[in-house]
A and B are shown apart, each in its own frame.
Chain A
Amino acid sequence: MFENLTEKLQAVFDKLSSRGRLTEADVDAALREVRLALLEADVNYKVVKAFLERVRERAIGAEVVRSLTPAQQVVKIVHEELIATLGEGAKLNLSGPAPHVIMLVGLQGAGKTTAVAKLALRLRKQGQRPLMVAADIYRPAAIHQLEVLGKQLDIPVYSEPNNRRPPEICANAVQHARKAAYTVVLLDTAGRLHINDQMMAELEAIKAKVQPAEVLLVADAMTGQDAVRVAEEFHRRVGLTGLILTKVDGDARGGAAISMRHVTGVPIKFLGTGEKPDALEEFHPDRLASRILGMGDVLSLIEKAEQTLDQQRAMEMGRRLVSGEFTLEDFLEQLHEVKKLGPLSQLLDMIPGMARVSKDLAPDVTEQQLKKVEAIINSMTKEERRRPEIINASRKRRIARGSGTTVQDINQLLGQFRQMQRMMKQFGKAPKRGGLFSMFQ
């Protein structure tokens, strides 16, 4: 439903006659839609209420900028308020004498162990000497899991035999780190329920012993309304200094982030965006706000493209994507570039309106699939690449022979390409209707 928020608001405003200045009626009608959108995104009910009151105050009487429709104006205000609520991301606090202790806490299955490994890798790249500490003595094989990750990344892991309690283990680990000149100590604590008093007391004990510079709550982006209570309780017991939002590579809107930020006031520091150890990104409030509102992650896309391609090519690619002038020839040309950008589905997720369709259209492009696609396109004539509609059965057989593939493969590629082209075209139309894309330019 999110992809349509602007459209929905547009419909609401089409019924209203006022122009130029947002009236109370305009705003209330629009905010009803915004409210539903936020609730669907798992923002907590109470947080939504408080948030909408702020938006309402700002929006009533606000002048509509000439280039925007009233609907866009409201979305803009909502977007800005969301960004303000989410707050700025923040760097890790690594001040004071080393070793800096970073403690990761959270519910079971939030992704703490994975986050510890990702953080350690990131810190090592920044020149730190990280030590990972296996303080989860409860979950079967949790210690082994961290050890395996440590081996894979070549980052040392500190663990002790099973009869030791986590507070001791952590204190010993910090001491060991001091002697061995590690600069950062990452504590992988066991997942626990925020209402389990005994387990929460254990966290308090660990904190008292090691005096961490950071206590980060690791939370799943798919969390629902309960995020508020989880964050509140962890914050009350151990005093959080930041949040890590995990599994952001799925299609959850991540409204829980707003809720948690709202009740704790601590910054969101990182986002977990994939299963690979380097899939940890810094937090940008504008992007998450866009995502929660279903406006896609245009900025992330642009930035990602800029990192890998040179500026001009990025712009050209953006133009072509949006305008729908996308031939098989371009497709081939850009395959190599796309490869550098990461899975195509992930790219499409960042484009407004594409999030919903991308999973069906664009499977993760693997090396193998890329090679196949490349071979198929290479076996086509120039004419065929530009006008794929002329490819008939006999041409398909020829291409299949030439590329060492099957006619089925070719049908599949053409089908996917057609669908993609159609989507691109549809997407390209959006700005003319005053879509959200214009807000980012």
Chain B
Amino acid sequence: MFGRPKTIQDGLARTRQSFFGRIRQLLAGSTLTPEAWDELEELLIQADVGVDITTELVEDLRRQAEAGKLRTPADVDRALRERLIAMLQQGAPSVVDEPRLLTVILVVGVNGSGKTTSIGKMAYYYKQRGRKVILAAADTFRAAAIDQLKIWGERVGVDVIAHQPGADPGAVTYDAIRACQARGADMLIIDTAGRLHTKYNLMQELAKVRGVAAKQVHRAPHETLLVIDATTGQNGLAQARHFKDTVGVTGIVLAKLDGTAKGGIVFPIVRELGVGVRFVGTGEKLEDWAEFDPQLFVAGLFDQNGNE
């Protein structure tokens, strides 16, 4: 939160100095030793990629190496990158930039994943790109959540539509859509209360918010973003599954990628649910926000210019 603005590369620098940097070192040798395969497995698992994908990748690469298709560590390195990139390239592209009168983005996630901060940064991002953005404070549950969003609204310079704490999130959404139409805003971003995906009633409430948007604006919400904390382990997949079932998540925001966590949980999520990663959050400042690029993400993981 201090110092220069962070970019996705900076966020990833931390990632590569620790683990993927080591993969690179391992693979920079001249021969493929059995230990190298074990280390490769360890490194992928430690990045939260998950047991299934890790085992599959390592076994597959190993088979190819044994069949003589991959001869050097450099070959393995290249094949691994290709596989990882391909895995992240699934999912329909975002339709946010398609022309329409009002684009509605619904933001959901478990408690503390970083929804409100992400919304502040996203609002700034789109405002910089010439959109007229309004924020809806539909987290009426958590203490002071509305004020938190209002402060972000002031920082960015966009309007925030809010009711009293405890108000119906659906009603807030309705009013916010009306406000967008009245004030000529072309983008509405809805902040919702954090909820564990296992809480049935809270998930139903979210479906209702979605329903209100759908009724008021043609094909809304045009994007439903699930915010996932980069430190999340394998539970991230269960989160994504439930939120997708209930509100039709169309994209992932990977928040807090400026720590030492790798965010490898996006691999199983993207693969199983076919939902792409849209953005990466890398800090607490307005500019700590970047579009997700699979090439860059994976290339960044493997780059050698970390500070190790």
Residues of A participating in the B interface, judged by any CB pair closer than 8 Å? 36, 39-42, 44-45, 107-111, 138-142, 144-149, 152, 193-196, 198-199, 220-227, 229-230, 247, 249-253, 255-256, 275, 345, 349, 359, 362-364, 366
Q: Within the assembled complex, what's the spacing in Å between the Cα atoms of A111 and B143?
A: 13
- Contact code string B134-159 (vs A, CB < 8 Å = 1, else 0): 00000001111101101110000000
Chain B binding site: helix, strand, loop or mixed by DSSP? Answer: loop
Scoring A42, A140, A142, A366 by chain B CB atoms within 10 A of each residue's CB, the highest score goes to: A140
> Looking across the interface, which residue of chain B has its beta carbon closest to that of A199?
B1
Which residues of chain A come closer than 8 Å to B265, judged between CB atoms?
224
Closest CB of chain A to B205's CB: distance in Å? 11
Whole-angstrom distance between the alpha carbons of A194 and B204 in the complex? 36
B233 on interface, CB distance cutoff 8 Å: yes
Tell whether B126 is near chain A: CB-to-CB under 8 Å: no
**Interface size range on B against A:** 35 or more
B200 interface neighbour in A39, A140, A142, A359, Cβ under 8 Å: A359
Q: Please, which residues of chain B bring their CB within 8 A of the CB of A36?
A: 51
CA distance A303 to B95 in the complex (A): 51
Known: A42-B234, A225-B47, A364-B201. A141 touches B259 (CB 8 A): no
Chain A residues contacting B238 (CB-CB under 8 Å) are 251-252
Residues of B within 8 A of A44 (CB): 46
Contact status A224-B144, CB under 8 Å: no
Query: Interface of chain A, helix or strand or loop or mixed?
Result: loop
Chain A residue at minimum C-beta to C-beta distance from B230? A226
Q: A40-B51, A144-B144 are in contact. Are A256 and B260 (CB under 8 A)?
A: no
The CA-CA distance from A315 to B148 in the complex, in Å, is 48
> B73 within 8 Å of A by Cβ?
no
B196 touches A109 (CB 8 A): no
Whether B234 contacts A41 by the Cβ 8 Å rule is: yes
Q: Is the CB of B261 within 8 A of A226?
A: yes
Task: Report B-chain residues with C-beta under 8 Å of the C-beta of A144.
Answer: 143-144, 147
Indicate if the CB atoms of A141 and B151 lie closer than 8 Å.
yes
Restricting to B34-58, which residues have a CB under 8 Å from any CB of A?
A: 42, 45-48, 50-51
8 more CB-based (< 8 A) A-B contacts, given A194-B259, A227-B231: A42-B233, A138-B284, A140-B148, A145-B143, A147-B144, A220-B231, A349-B198, A362-B200
Does B7 interact with chain A (Cβ within 8 Å)?
no
Q: Known contacts A111-B111, A141-B151, A251-B235: does B260 contact A229 (CB below 8 Å)?
A: yes
Among all A-B residue pairs, the 8 with the closest Cβ atoms: A224-B233, A109-B112, A42-B233, A363-B200, A148-B143, A145-B144, A140-B151, A141-B148
- 22 A-B contacts (beta carbon < 8 Å): A107-B259, A108-B112, A140-B151, A141-B148, A141-B150, A142-B144, A145-B142, A146-B143, A148-B165, A152-B143, A195-B14, A220-B112, A222-B236, A230-B231, A230-B260, A247-B110, A249-B198, A250-B110, A252-B235, A252-B238, A253-B234, A363-B204
